[in-house]
Amino acid sequence: MNALSDSTTTLAELKARVLAFAREREWEQFHAPKNLSMALAAEAGELMEHFLWSTPEASRAVARDEARRKKIEEELADVVIYALEFANMTGMDVAAVIEAKMSANAKKYPVEKARGRSDKYTEL
């Protein structure tokens, strides 16, 4: 079966799968950064639709609701697939850009100041 799981799958493996899927279908011609960023944003919109009218607290239960969970998983998958394909098409290393961004975030949001607060760093 060979099922994938987060604990054993590298970003590179996942990116390679997504790339192979597109290449096989000769879709790289459509996968310009502009188009992929639109597709990603559209899928993020679909993910949001599951939570429009619930409170944040209630949304935790929505995400675990059996009837909806499969759909929500599919929307999350679509989002990440487009993000990985964006990285493929632009030659970006996802782990490296995340590490760099989190390091910048750590400076903007030092633990002592940011603890338990949702304010933007400009307002801390």
Q: Does 111 bind a copy of itself (CB under 8 A)?
A: yes
Q: Which of 53, 51, 108 is nearest to 76 (CA)?
A: 51
**Of the candidate residues 63, 66, 108, 121, the single one contacting a copy of itself (CB under 8 A):** 63
Footprint of a copy of itself on 22-41 (CB under 8 A): 24-27, 29-30, 32-35, 37-41
CB 124 within 8 A of CB 113: yes
**Of the candidate residues 71, 94, 107, 108, the single one contacting a copy of itself (CB under 8 A):** 94
Q: Does 19 bind a copy of itself (CB under 8 A)?
A: no
DSSP-derived 3-state class of residue 115: coil
